[in-house]
Each structure stands twice: as structure tokens, then as C-alpha cells.
Amino acid sequence: MKVFCGRANPTTGAVEWLEEDENYDYHQEIARSCYADMLNDKDRNEKYFQGIRAAVGRVKERGERAIVLDIGTGTGLLSMMAVTAGADFCYAVEVFKPMADAAAKIVEKNSFSDKIKIIQKHSTEVTVGPDGDMQCRANILITELFDTELIGEGALPSYEHAHQYLVEEGCEAVPHRATVYAQLVESKRMWSWNKLLPIRVHAEDGEKVVVSLPEMEDCPGAPTVYDIQLNQVPFGDFTALSKVVAVFRIDFSKPVSRASGHHTVQLEPIRSGRAQVVLSWWDIDMDPSGSIKCTMAPYWVQTASDDIPWRDHWMQCVYFLPNEDLVLQGESVDLTAFHDDYSVWYRLQKGRNDDAGIDVCVERPVCCCQAHLLWNRPRFGELNDQNRTAQYVQALKKALKRDSVCLSISDGSLLPVLAHHLGAEQVFTLESSAVSHSLMKKIFKANHLEDKIKIIEKHPELLVSSDLEDRKVSLLIGEPFFSTSLLPWHNLYFWYARTAVASFLTSDVTILPQSASLHMMIVEFKDLWRIRSPCGTCEGFDVHIMDEMIKNSLDFRESREAEPHPLWEYPCKSLSDPLEVLTFDFRHTVPEHVLRKEGILNLLRTGKSHGAVLWMEYHLTPGLSVNTGLLQVSNEKGYCQWTPHCKQAVYFFSSVTEPKPLTSNHSAVAYAIGFSPKTGNVTMDFKLLN
């Protein structure tokens, strides 16, 4: 059956109706999943196998049959481990139909169909009995229901139901327990991901300060955790105010409750400072003795000799406190972790050693200032980047005149405030959503500009002359930034918006930025290549079906094949020089003809060519640019530094395999890059040359 799906094109802003089959959403979910990463996580797989062998062994020592329940089986890997370890039978539960189908094929391929039953249901719908999905309760419970926050994939409700209805009392569980750890830190960099800091602008009539809205001061922020690769955050970017403490534990072999709760630990600050952020992670013990441990601890917690496994499916958590609070060395404070059935959040209390007053914080935090609804964490960092702001201030000083009528087109941008402070006669800002309109209205009011800057809540194509008070725009500005953008070129929506408002511009209008360019470089990733690496075999089991499944599902329609990734979290080295491949001139309207460039890019360094990285650079005025990608190639080895505020586009080559030291299979890459103005799509094709 075919269906038609309406989808807003991030680049053109137009709604497109695309014909899809009924499994389209499934395909997209598989494409964005981490199945390959998990299957290639050797440390995870080995620890699970060890824990499963030990659990089966303990059951057999008691003279019992080993009946396994595997919740969230995915590929069926853990179930196959259990049977290999001697389990008599395994019930493998998987609610996601395409994965359940794949698991059935993989189990059959590995000749385990007689001992593994795939149940395509949510575990809370599974029944036990002669006519049920399971003939009897299991005495071994195996799960992999965890995310970076541990409980974010619904582990607690699933465990609660399983203990009530699906497993025997006192069952063996793999993993056996989990421990959540936390560390209190001060970090200017991380705090800039959560609050809008004051921005100072030097104008002709003195210094102006752009302030945040009052509601943001005590706003708890975005309700979701910020999961990042903490191993890529330099130790100098934060100051530890406490030692690492165990906040709470969950024993999976005993009944588990999904009820909301809290756990308080007393901290003894190891130094004085501003408590701003809680860094958190967890580890799991695969056996009761704790001798088989899988940990997410970052590098500064583990010993120097540890070979820290790389993972992208489990990372570490950054939790922001509602406001910064001064803590003093030697004066204890209480850190409380709250949780509901899916989320964790933290609060800090000073001078309390009991749970008095705790109940006021049990409610899951929700943004009350609206800024966290419009701006994600990287966007906060971008707005707080003083060097970036300085580029826009310099460009505006060059472009502005006393009689300038300015129109800003970006989502929730502070450029209108900067333009006003730097002397624009009249400033209009186009906000296409009710959230951005409401937020900017509050920011303008906090800066006493509610009567100075006019907000127009419209899409560009709906603009009429009266919206601009019948005036012509002499300066059109944009960062550009749009909240719907995923890939670097999606912000080219500014070009389409500029074209839509062309009739309202003066003949000598200044466009800022005046142009943009798309850049490309061939890289070798240290670890990121693993997420698209073939699975083939895993712990001796044939799981190649997943390779075909992932390959067939990689249909990133926004770019044809590129994927967005924040490369500051994923080290890589350049194998080629960066190359400018396409330019987009905003001083003119969007052309009708396709922009295209073909050529050959020579590889200058040895290494494995994992893929191409693409990013945008915006040219504000002659000599002033803002880069959204490569900042520099740091040394002769080619290690790259990337802007932390944006995601870059990564095109993985089809032959992604584990790199071999000091070898290179290719000496050049042939490329063809095209931009279709009609669709807004960037298409690309690459061929590795010997």
C-alpha cells in the first residue's frame, strides 16, 4: 500500500507530498538507529556473553532448566548467546516489526529456531500459560533496554511488568544491577549551552548590553538530557567541585518499580566554585559479584592504563541545574537525583540533611521561558560565542547607514537587537512561528526595545507592504539560522526567503551575508566509521542480514546520502585539503539552473578514506566570514578542529572498513556535487581512485 506524506523541505520551506510505502517510518528509524554501533561494540558484547554464561551456569548448578526471557532482543544476538551458553529455551521479545522479522531470519540462519521463539509484541503485552506467548515463566531475564540516561527507553516499566508477570521470583538477571554516578562541576563552556549570557556591543553612543529575559534566570531548561561524548571535552573546560559519587542503584534481579522517586547524597565540595552542571553516567554489573562490569565512565575517572571502549549508543549525560549556586569547600551540600519512569534530573540543596521540602521538585522540569523550546543546546552556545558575535557586529557596522531600514530573516536571532544598537533607523524581524515570535517579544521587552523593533509573524512569501509600514528594505540580514535545519545547506532557506521578499527591497539593497560557500574534505575517522561498518559476524554469530537492512534503510532524503553529525565529538584527520565546491550568491535571487561541480581531489596523507565531510561558510561582507565547519587542521598529521555549534554533513563511502595503520588504498577521490534550486537538495557522488 502506498501513502502520501506531507513534509516541509528545510531548504526551500515548501511542503512536499511524497509517495511512500507503509513501512517508510520504520525505514527511517532503522536508518537513524545505532544497531551497527551496538553490534560492533566488542566490550559490550563480551561482557553480556560472560554474564549470560555465568547466569545459565548458576541455574544449571541448582538443577533447573534454564528458561530465558530476552526483552528488546533486537537482532536476537543475546538470545543466541544464551542458547550457546546452555539455555534450554529462550523467548525473545521485540516490538519493532522490521527488527523482529530480522531477528527471526538471523536466528534461523544460525540454526537456533528450535530453541528461540521470536515474539513480536511489547513485553507488557506478552502472556504466560498453555495458550500464551510463553509456556512458563522464565528464570533468567536478559535485557538491553538502556539508553545514555539508563532509563530513557522505558526500562523501569518493562522490568516492573516482567517481575510481576513473566519471570520467577529470585530470577537471575543479566545485567544484574546498574549504578548511576554523578559529579558536580563548574563549566563556563557547558553553562553557555543552557543560559543566554549578556552580550556587550560597542556602539558610537557607548556600550550596549543585550540581556536575557528574566524568566530564564530560574528556568529549569529543556526537559531532556544533553547526551554527549564527554571523552571529547578537555579536562580544562570544567572544574570538578566534588568527587564522583554513586547516586542510586537498581537491582534488576528483584522487583523494580516505575514509580517516581528521588535519591539524595551528601557532597563534600573539594573546592569552592559555582555549581552549574552535574555530569552523570552509569555502569552495569553483569553478575551478582560485580566481577563483570561494563562502564560508561569518562576518561578522567578511569585509570590511564584503561583502553576505554568507544560507543555512540551509550554516552554520558550533562544535566544543568536550574541556576548556578556558590558552594564552598568544606561546607556539605545535598545533591538529589529525581526520576520518573523515563527521565532523571538533579537539584542541589545547601544546609539540609533530610528530605524536607523535597516534594516541590518531584515534578519533571519543563522550560518556562520558551527559549529552550526554540534554541537547542548548540544554539545557546552559538549565541554565546563572543568571537562569532563580533564578526556580525563588524559586518553590521560596515553595512549600516543612519537611514537603514533593516529586515532580519532568521529564527530567534539577536541580529535585530544588534542592528538597532548599531544605529539602524528602523528594524523589522520576520518570525515564522508563534514560539519564536513570543520569545523575541519577551527578549525585546527585557532590553526595552518592544517599541523599537517590529516583529512580523509571517512566512516570507506572505509578506505585504503594510507589514513594513510601506517602507523599502535597504539592509536584509540573517545569520542565517532556522530551527528546522538539520544539514548545513538547509539554512539556504535564507536564499529562498530573500527571493520571496525581493519586491520589498531597494534597488541598492545590501544583503548580509552576501554569499555562502559549500566546502568539502576527505577524512579518516577515529571511531565514527563504526556506525556504518558492516556487522557480518558478532561473537561468532552470523548477523549479516543487518548489514543489508541498514544499507537498504539509509535513505536520508534531505541530502540523498549525507548524515548530520557534530564532529567536535568525533575525532578525525584530514586526508585531503579542504575544497570549496559550490557558491551561492545571495545578492541575486535563487537561479533556475542547477549548480554543479565535478573534479578530482588528491589525497595528501595516508589513512583510510572513510568519507567526505561537507560544511557551509557564510561571507558576511568582504573579509568577514562565519564558518560552520572546519576551524583548522592542527598539525602535519592532519587532526581536525570543528566548530562546536553546528553539525556537519558526513557522506560515508560504501567501503567503510577498519583502517590499517600507515596504509592508503586510494590516492584520489573523484567527486560530483550538485545543488538543485527547484528542490533545494544537494546531491553528491564519489568514487575512490587508485
Active site residues per annotation? 144, 153
Give the H/E segment covering residue 336. strand 333-339
d(CA 200, CA 30): 45
Query: Which grid cell sits at 454?
Result: 517590529
Q: How far is CA 573 from CA 484, 578, 645, 657, in A?
A: 30, 12, 19, 16
Helix axes 77-84, 42-61, angle to 10 degrees: 40
Bond from prior residue into 513 cis (ω within 30 degrees of 0): yes
Bond from prior residue into 480 cis (ω within 30 degrees of 0): yes
Written as one letter, the residue type at 275 is A
Q: Judge whether 278 and 28 are in contact, CB under 8 Å.
A: no
Query: Which grid cell sits at 238?
Result: 570544567
Give how far the C-alpha of residue 99 lies from the chain's centroid of Cα atoms, to the nearest Å.
Answer: 23
Q: SS3 string of 357-426?
A: CHHHHCCCCCCCCCHHHHCCHHHHHHHCCHHHHHHHHHHHHHHCCCCCEEEEECCCCCHHHHHHHCCCCE
Q: Would you tell me how many other CB atoms lie within 10 Å of the CB of residue 154?
A: 17
Give the H/E segment covering residue 188. helix 188-191
Q: Would you tell me how many other CB atoms lie within 10 Å of the CB of residue 21?
A: 10
**Would you call 569 helix, strand, or coil by DSSP?**
helix
